[in-house]
């Protein structure tokens, strides 16, 4: 059984690493931390240890993290997730929410000197609609330009999240777009790509012709550092100004001249619980569906109420996490009624009432000859998910009499098992449409990571349909919230509990003292790109 010794061993390795690095001399050519800080302040530069760098920068071929960096967008979102204008100086939406008309600013220019025109916007969206990317433009009937400064979108039916979609699409210039555009992109955003070394680094420079406030950071270097130990060493040696770190390293280390930057996120982890009994049903590809233990709502509810999430945050992430109760905690469309308090007595009472009892005294409950036992899968090699799974397993056995066997599995081997066995998954989005993908019955049992638990609820479907089909984000919020919990049913832990939400990770970074990263949005899943979404506002104090 997993004990604290596993975590102690991990902490010990981190401490040894920290001690070794503390006594290390600078590598040849390295700059001392003080000298590096002075140079960056004087030159308005910043160097970022990034967890990965893209293979290209083409928004029409799947690069979606460049809005407000290299590229401009029609609209953007502020730190409170309000829609704000960018390329658009004004816009109107028809009463039926089928026609969106935008006026384009006249002072926006691409870095080659050409004006950004409405025709470039139309070209971008019409090309993207016919490309294979994650951007959903299925309801966009047309995008047409009227002169140089007006563009009109026509939808086939209302889509409440359409403005959020527009906020993620970087506008490309029709006159230079080609198959190699992603390697030498031309945009109109606050930065321009100055250098790109595939697999190693990319360098941005401030776009001095930007129509908005020109960034204080004139040069930004992104270094590819996929390994957390490498990023830690880079910070200790002063080679980077800010870089991602882990909860383990953050809990045992300090870096002179740096502070630990902690950002709130909806980067959550939880357990997808198969909802149907094992009745021999299979997916279209022949994978088994259902689980006789987790299909019992008493089991799911017992885990929901019986797991101490705060203890889990301490055990698995050294306290650098907060309890999670839904897929969107803290976002404008979150339902605060999703929050529940730990109640082990209530949890065990549910199990007793449902007939799950430890009749043989081995510490594990049974019901009609079936043990309250199941595997809990996670992506092999992911130490955080492993730690979360282990902590859940310990608590479930000790508090509830539910036996969980934690198992690391290669991603290629998860697909055949994920429809019949619980697994740790991570989500977190700045768009409420993820709730539709996670819980609408139309996504149940498909061969992707959405709704592998085969959750189906007609009432929830109705709320999700109304939310997605509302005329605006504001109009959709009551329906997103009711889908989570309407007082009787929902996707939350109070409702059907198809997904046992556990924690929201804090996103952690070593940041050089004096670096001001501005007011950040609540971070979505992934702790790299969300950090630099407001890069144009960064400065040295």
pLDDT greater than 80 at residue 413: yes
> Which CATH code, of 3.40.47.10, 3.40.920.10, 3.30.470.10, 3.40.190.10, is assigned to 59-183?
3.40.190.10
Contact 248, 260 (CB under 8 A): no
| Band of pLDDT at residue 63, cut at 50, 70 and 90 | confident
To which residue do tokens 């530069």 refer? 45
Q: What is the pLDDT of residues 96-113, one digit of tens each?
A: 999 999 999 999 999 999
Domain boundaries, the chain: 4-51+190-263, 59-183, 268-505
Question: What CATH fold (topology level) applies to the domain 4-51+190-263?
Answer: D-Maltodextrin-Binding Protein; domain 2 (3.40.190)
Cα–Cα distance, 258 to 515 (Å, whole number): 9
Burial 250-278 (b: 16+ CB within 10 A, else e): bbbbebebbebbebbbbbbbbbbbbbbee
Mean pLDDT of 462-476: 97
SS3 at position 204: strand
pLDDT greater than 70 at residue 89: yes
Outline where DSSP puts E strands in 207-320: 219-224, 242-244, 258-263, 268-272
Cα–Cα distance, 183 to 535 (Å, whole number): 21
pLDDT greater than 50 at residue 419: yes
CA distances from 37 to 238, 239, 540 (A): 8, 10, 9
pLDDT greater than 90 at residue 535: yes
**Residue 523's pLDDT is what?**
93
Q: Which two tokens stand for residue 191?
A: 């930065």
pLDDT greater than 80 at residue 496: yes
Helix, strand, coil in percent for the chain, rounding step 5: 30, 25, 50
Element (H, E) at 459: helix 458-468
**Residue 37's pLDDT is what?**
58
Element (H, E) at 123: helix 118-129
Mean pLDDT of 119-143: 94
Give the predicted TM-score (pTM) of the model: 0.90
CA distances from 472 to 152, 351, 392, 479, 497 (A): 17, 42, 39, 12, 28
pLDDT greater than 80 at residue 27: no
Of the ranges 36-40, 144-148, 408-412, the best mean pLDDT one: 144-148
| Band of pLDDT at residue 25, cut at 50, 70 and 90 | very low
65-79, 170-184, 312-326, 365-379: range with lowest mean pLDDT: 65-79
Mean pLDDT of 427-439: 94
Closest C-alpha to 420, from 235, 292, 256: 292
**Residue 134's pLDDT is what?**
84
8-22, 334-348, 385-399, 400-414: range with lowest mean pLDDT: 8-22
Instruction: Kindly give, in sequence order, each residue whose CB lies less than 8 Å from that of residue 475, ignoring residues fewer than 6 positions away.
Output: 160
Contact 71, 190 (CB under 8 A): no
**Residue 383's pLDDT is what?**
86
Question: What CATH fold (topology level) applies to the domain 268-505?
Answer: Dipeptide-binding Protein; domain 3 (3.10.105)
Domains 4-51+190-263 and 59-183 share a fold: yes
pLDDT greater than 80 at residue 38: no
Cα–Cα distance, 235 to 402 (Å, whole number): 43
């Amino acid at each position: 059984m997993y004990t604290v010794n596993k975590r102690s061993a991990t902490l010990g390795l981190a401490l040894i690493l920290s001690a070794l690095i503390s006594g290390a001399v600078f590598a040849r050519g390295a700059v001392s931390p003080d000298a590096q800080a002075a140079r960056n302040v004087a030159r308005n530069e910043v160097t970022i240890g990034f967890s990965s760098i893209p293979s290209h920068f083409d928004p029409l071929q799947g690069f979606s993290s460049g809005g407000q960096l290299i590229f401009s967008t029609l609209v953007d979102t502020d730190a409170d997730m309000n829609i704000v204008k960018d390329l658009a100086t004004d816009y109107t939406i028809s009463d039926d929410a089928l026609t969106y008309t935008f006026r384009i600013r006249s002072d926006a220019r691409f870095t080659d000197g050409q004006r950004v025109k409405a025709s470039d916007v139309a070209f971008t969206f019409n090309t993207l609609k016919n490309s294979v990317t994650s951007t959903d433009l299925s309801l966009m009937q047309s995008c047409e330009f009227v002169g140089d400064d007006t563009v009109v979108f026509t939808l086939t039916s209302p889509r409440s999240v359409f403005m959020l979609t527009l906020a993620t699409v970087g506008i490309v210039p029709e006159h230079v777009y080609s198959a190699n555009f992603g390697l030498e992109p031309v945009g109109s955003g606050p930065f321009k790509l100055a250098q790109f070394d595939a697999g190693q680094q990319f360098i941005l420079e401030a776009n001095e012709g930007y129509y908005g406030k020109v960034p204080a950071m004139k040069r930004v270097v992104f270094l590819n550092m996929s390994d957390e130990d490498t990023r830690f060493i880079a910070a200790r040696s002063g080679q980077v100004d800010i870089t991602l770190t882990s909860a383990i390293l953050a809990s045992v280390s300090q870096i002179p001249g740096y502070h630990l930057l902690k950002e709130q996120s909806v980067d959550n982890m939880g357990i997808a619980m198969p909802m149907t009994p094992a009745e021999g049903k299979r997916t279209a590809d022949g994978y088994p569906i259902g689980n006789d233990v987790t299909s019992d709502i008493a089991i799911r509810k017992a885990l929901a109420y019986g797991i101490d999430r705060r203890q889990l945050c301490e055990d698995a992430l050294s306290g650098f996490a907060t309890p999670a109760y839904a897929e969107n905690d803290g976002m404008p469309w979150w339902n605060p009624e999703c929050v529940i308090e730990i109640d082990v007595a209530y949890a065990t009472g549910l199990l007793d009432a449902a007939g799950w009892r430890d009749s043989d005294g081995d510490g594990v409950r049974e019901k009609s000859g079936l043990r309250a036992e199941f595997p809990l899968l996670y992506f092999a090699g992911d130490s955080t998910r492993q730690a979360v799974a282990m902590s859940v397993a310990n608590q479930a056995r000790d508090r509830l009499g539910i036996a969980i066997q934690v198992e690391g599995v290669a991603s290629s081997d998860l697909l055949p098992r994920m429809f019949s066995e619980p697994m740790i998954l991570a989500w977190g989005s700045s768009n409420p449409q993820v709730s539709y993908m996670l819980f609408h019955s139309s996504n149940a049992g498909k061969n992707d990571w959405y709704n592998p638990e085969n959750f189906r609820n007609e009432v929830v479907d109705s709320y999700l349909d109304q939310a997605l089909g509302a005329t605006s984000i504001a109009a959709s919020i009551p329906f997103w919230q009711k889908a989570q919990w309407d007082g009787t049913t929902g996707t939350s832990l109070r409702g059907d509990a198809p997904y046992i939400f556990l924690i929201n990770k804090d996103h952690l970074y070593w940041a050089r003292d004096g670096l001001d990263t501005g007011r950040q949005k609540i971070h979505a899943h992934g702790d790299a790109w969300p950090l630099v979404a407001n890069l144009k506002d960064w400065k040295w104090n």
